[in-house]
A and B are shown apart, each in its own frame.
Chain A
Amino acid sequence: METVRVTIDGQEVEVPSGSTILEAARIAGVDIPTLCYHPDLDVKAMCRVCVVEVVGARTLQAACTQPVSEGMIVKTSSPLAREARRMNVELILSNHPQDCLNCIRNQKCELQTLAEKLGIREQRFERRSRTKNNLDISSPSLVRDMEKCILCRRCVAVCQQVQGVSALGPINRGIDTIVAPVGGCELNSVACTLCGQCVHVCPVGAIYEKDDTQKVWSALADPTKHVVVQTAPAIRVAIGEEMGLEPGALVTGKLVAVLRRLGFDKVFDTDFSADLTIMEEGHELIHRLQNGGTLPMITSCSPGWIKFIEHFYPELLDHLSTCKSPQQMFGALAKTYYAQKAGIDPKDIFVVSIMPCTAKKFECGREEMTDSGYPDVDVVLTTRELGRMLREAGINFATLPEEEFDAPLGISTGAGVIFGATGGVMEAALRTVYEVVTGKELPSVDFTEVRGLEGIKEATIDLDGQKVKVAVAHGLANAKKILELIKEGKADYQFIEVMSCPGGCIGGGGQPIPTNKEVIKKRLAAIYDADKGMKLRKSHENPAVKALYEEFLGKPLGEKSHHLLHTHYVKRGKYKI
């Protein structure tokens, strides 16, 4: 590796050539303060907080972007650099609400932390307000409060670069600049997938999930309601972070226990309906392979992804599996199969989903999602909202015992839990499809080619002579690449898994803050640990799923399945919401 020698604050260090000043300074043990900079994004030098003095340069340089060169002498805390850094933070603060106590990001705010770090104790500019009455609550998933926006444009970058959506951009000029959905419209009026990745990158409280916790508190307090909860696979590896544990803590049993303490009548597991999804989707794939159906077939678990393809590639909707997502399959069964089995009138059943996802809030409100005769799912809470409820309830999470999910909708396999990670649906499907088609037992259940954080992964499996080529994409910009291949007729895959969010659901827009590559890696490891720890690891071996088919559904892709577990899609286009 080529290196260069630079001097940072008097200390000479050797750093890889091409490093930025920021990276070089970290090697030298100096942590230059930043604000708009984000390790996972290409956001460049806008906030001017990381400016440093470079000897010989006419102006201060942005450390996050300026590459080092041989012999460069950098002064990170020279009087000019300190003055500029402090004043730029002061300028941002003077145009930012000061009601930190009421802010959803209180104590998790990068601006607050930065101001503390720099010791800003006075504000010499008159207070301004960037916008007034500009709270955008139009979407079912996200709230945008542009008065709090500090115009770092990370949300713009993630939406464009990572998700390939470009729903957001700057409008107006100068002091009137704000970040807004295309054309200054409300979020619900533009082609936004509601994936919520913008929430993760927002350094302040300008974008956040729509809070539905009160609806859940009310239902729990209502004696006429039978309140059941399902928790998505990705919650068990993330909720610990909301409760002060390290990222990647696997807390399945405590999660069950705490939900019981909150007062849910039954604590179920979306892993159950994930197994069920594999049964339906696996058979759908086999059916398409054997009967000349539309291929490649693409998974349909991720509601942000569904909205994406409906907006941007409506002509490719036939490629989507018709299976509902596990959360919606669960809801439809909770108010039919479970209601019947438990002898409860479905109108009294209140289904709460704990999801790592903001788009799920949209999904449960889709008009197709009422096949039980009621809204299949009543309320979706994100991991963050559950964390908020748990903190308010004051339950000591760390000392809780480990408890088991309730039967029957809480019984699952390792195949269900890996739905939480990118490649997980694919792996779970392959475990089942292989054994169903070949009638043989898999030598190893681990399909490692489809694991990991590579943006697009490929694998080929041999189903007794029939080669099936599969692909996995996470992050919608990657999905877009695959869809373009399909459009051009160049995609030689039979089956594709797409997840909206980087890393899959563990990196979902509803997960704890911070969610970034580092944190995602830890949650990913925990998901595979959870899989390994399960007695059963193939969906078709799930006894509760078997019973469900025997007692209620009949067979995969049967008439009842078709009615309750499958759906259709809407050709939205870019301008129809």
Chain B
Amino acid sequence: MAFYRAHVLVCGGTPCELGGCRAVKDTLLEEVNRLGLSSEIRVLETGCLGPCDQGPVIIVYPEGIMYARLQPGDVKEIVEQHLLKGRVVNRLVYHEKKEEAKSVVTFESSDYFGLQERIVLRNCGRINPESIEEYIAHDGYRALGKCLTEMEPAAVVQVVKDSGLRGRGGAGFPTGLKWSFTAKTDSNQKYIVCNADEGEPGTFKDRLILEGDPHSIIEGMAIAGYAVGANKGYIYIRGEYKLSIERLQHAIRQARELGLLGTNIFGSDFAFDIEVRSGAGAYVCGEETALIESIEGSRGEPRYKPPFPGVSGIWGKPTVVNNVETLANIAPIILNGAAWFRGFGTEKCPGTKVFTMTGDINNEGLIEVPMGITLRQIVYGVGGGIPGGLGFKMAQTGGTSGGCLPKEFLDLPMDYDTLAEAGSALGSGALLIMDDSHCIVDIVRCFMKFFKHESCGKCTPCREGTTRLYELVTKITEGKATNEDIALLTELSRVMQTSALCGLGQAAPNPLVTCLKYFEEEFGAHLNGYCPTGVCTMPVANVKVG
């Protein structure tokens, strides 16, 4: 085996790809060749490294120096200075965007990375996602082998149950319990579905997991299939996730070639195969029953539950639907045990959570932190604070259907239950940070516009209600609303939360309801014709002087 004195990992996630990482990688290879270093230095493309707004990024090992915002023109200097002469190119090094930023940091020593705990992202940014050998070299498919050769299906379900793993798609339903429902059913055909229809605005964790470590999902699905008695899996993925789809299909082919998918896997009787189905972009198709309708080729609309998919899913057969991140947790849990997993996070929510940080925050991007971490640790620790010296106004957790939390909640430990209590949700792990220059009513208007657009139109409260919420909130931003309108908004929100058919309509009012509660004064000001931040254009007659 060849020995390289240095490895250059080029982040190949979509954000870096959009920033031109392919050209950077090509130039790197050219330069390394030109200087005759190709037997000493290895250039590799990996999955996402995390700091997506800094792309294209590369890390040079063994030092662990990260370079950010690279252009092909910068590459020559890095190769000649760093790789040839061992001099770090300071001007290109990744800087944490904090007020007192250290000038040079290694990636692992940065606050951004240091606070993270990587289980799901264990291989992201470390291995070549297109190489099954690299996945296997990092314990890949060992968990599947352990299940098939040493464990009964019921024991696999039990370990997942004991681990306390909860669904990472948003609702936080215990994964082991979900598996046990389907395992119990008596059916000649069952299905495992990986829900990769990541539609929540501001969420891109699943995409980066799939791009960075596709085999972890394949392995997780195969284990789930063995546990519940399913031999067919579908990965339902957003059509826009082109790179993820390519990587998945490539990974599935590789797994089939090595007999890790197909029949008699690991010499056992177990057969399992996976098909990738892409969606057409409807937000509602992330809802499991709408997703199933879509897989069946119908219009993506939720079904009435019961029956639940675990009993009657695709074509009426028992179907487990798990999120990408949930499945990525499975192999490490099987290998290391439930107790190990419970060593992370909180008692009720063990493990880690992958978040995607966006908005007014210094370090935008992908992070994995233990459950129960506080909002403050994320925003001011991993996130590096708010740019421009502005104050924290609110964080919306869980995506657009999550609630908005003001600064009073900065020290709230984040897990499924605490956030639900606060009127928000952990949801998909999207974390939108807003500074205090924004008008809360205007922000809510944007959220409502999203739901108006994404309601599938099946049930009355969501179809009609999402538009009415938008209209009424718009009225507030125009300074034309009255107390009656607020009362109507409150009533409509409650009706949607209690009577909409699926989670979309039930959750759509969440940001509005939390903002009405936590930012009452700001709403009140609008009723009086005054927008405190000056974002909303109010009728001239109402403008207060002085």
Contact = CB atoms under 8 A, between A and B. Distances in A.
A559 B447 CA distance: 74
B465 A91 contact: yes
Given A48-B500, A59-B506, A173 B282 contact: yes
A65 B302 CA distance: 14
Interface stretch (B156-164, B378-386, B451-459): B451-459
B499 A46 contact: no
B401 interface: no
B438 interface: no
Given A60-B499, A84-B495, A94 B464 contact: yes
B40 interface: no
B346 interface: no
A124 B466 CA distance: 15
A351 interface: no
Contact of A174 (B467, B491, B497, B499): B467
B471 interface: yes
23 contacts: A47-B460, A48-B459, A48-B460, A51-B498, A59-B497, A59-B498, A59-B499, A62-B304, A65-B304, A67-B306, A87-B461, A88-B461, A92-B464, A124-B484, A125-B468, A170-B457, A173-B455, A174-B455, A174-B466, A174-B467, A175-B452, A175-B455, A175-B467
B205 interface: no
A197 to B, nearest CB: 21
Interface in A369-401: none
Query: Which of A47, A174, A176 is packed against the most chain B CB atoms within 10 Å?
Result: A174
A256 interface: no
Given A46-B458, A46-B501, A67-B306, A87 B463 contact: no
A177 interface: yes
Contacts of B455: 173-175
A60 B460 contact: no
B299 interface: yes
Given A59-B497, A95-B464, 8 more contacts: A47-B459, A51-B499, A84-B495, A84-B498, A91-B465, A125-B468, A151-B457, A174-B453
B358 to A, nearest CB: 25
Interface in A338-395: none
6 A-B pairs with the lowest CB-CB distances in the bound complex, closest first:
A177-B457, A174-B455, A91-B464, A84-B499, A175-B467, A87-B495
Contact of B498 (A47, A66, A80, A174): A80
A125 B475 CA distance: 12
Interface in B479-497: 484, 488, 491-492, 494-495, 497
Contacts of B501: 45-46, 48, 62
Contacts of B466: 174-175
A42 to B, nearest CB: 11
A87 B456 contact: no
B312 to A, nearest CB: 13
A126 interface: yes
A45 B304 contact: yes
Interface of B: 282, 299, 301, 303-304, 306, 452-461, 463-468, 471, 484, 488, 491-492, 494-495, 497-501, 506
A307 to B, nearest CB: 25
A83 interface: yes
Given A59-B498, A91-B468, A125-B468, A173 B459 contact: no
B456 A174 contact: yes
Contacts of A95: 464
A425 to B, nearest CB: 37
A44 interface: yes
A102 interface: no
Contact of A177 (B463, B488, B506): B463
A174 B471 CA distance: 14
A169 interface: yes
B456 A124 contact: no
A83 B452 contact: no
A429 to B, nearest CB: 40
Contact of B491 (A49, A87, A177): A87
Contacts of B303: 44
A172 interface: yes
A46 B452 contact: no
Interface in A19-72: 44-49, 51, 59-60, 62, 65-67
B282 A88 contact: no
Question: Which applies to chain A's interface (DSSP): helix, strand, loop or mixed?
Answer: loop
Contacts of A45: 304, 459, 501
Contacts of B468: 91, 94, 125
B454 A173 contact: yes
A59 B491 CA distance: 15
Nearest to B494: A83
B488 A48 contact: no
Contacts of A94: 464, 468
A175 B464 contact: yes
Nearest to A36: B460
Contacts of B488: 124-125
Contact of B457 (A80, A84, A124, A174): A174
Query: Which of A45, A62, A67, A87 is packed against the most chain B CB atoms within 10 Å?
Result: A87
Contact of A172 (B304, B306, B457): B457
A95 B506 CA distance: 21
A169 B299 CA distance: 9
A80 B497 CA distance: 11
B495 A170 contact: no
A46 B459 contact: yes
B454 A46 contact: no
Nearest to B451: A174
A60 B460 CA distance: 14
A131 to B, nearest CB: 13
Contact of B304 (A44, A59, A84): A44
A177 B458 CA distance: 8
A91 B467 CA distance: 10
Contact of B499 (A48, A92, A169): A48
Interface string A171-186: 0111111000000000
Contacts of A88: 460-461, 495, 499
Given A45-B304, A169-B299, A174 B463 contact: yes
Contacts of A49: 460
Contacts of A174: 452-457, 463, 466-467
B478 to A, nearest CB: 13
Contacts of A47: 459-460
A177 B255 CA distance: 43
A84 B460 CA distance: 11
B305 to A, nearest CB: 10
A84 B461 contact: yes
Contacts of B456: 173-174, 177
Contacts of B498: 51, 59-60, 80, 84
Contacts of B500: 48, 59
B457 A176 contact: yes
A124 B487 CA distance: 11
Contacts of A65: 304
A48 B464 contact: no
B309 to A, nearest CB: 16
A104 B466 CA distance: 31
A207 to B, nearest CB: 19
Contacts of A173: 282, 453-457
A88 B463 CA distance: 10
Contacts of A46: 458-460, 501
Nearest to A88: B460
B38 to A, nearest CB: 53
B380 to A, nearest CB: 35
Nearest to B503: A59
A177 B497 CA distance: 21
A59 B498 CA distance: 5
A216 to B, nearest CB: 40
Contacts of A177: 456-458, 463
Contacts of B495: 83-84, 87-88
Contacts of B459: 45-48
Contacts of B499: 48, 51, 59-60, 84, 88
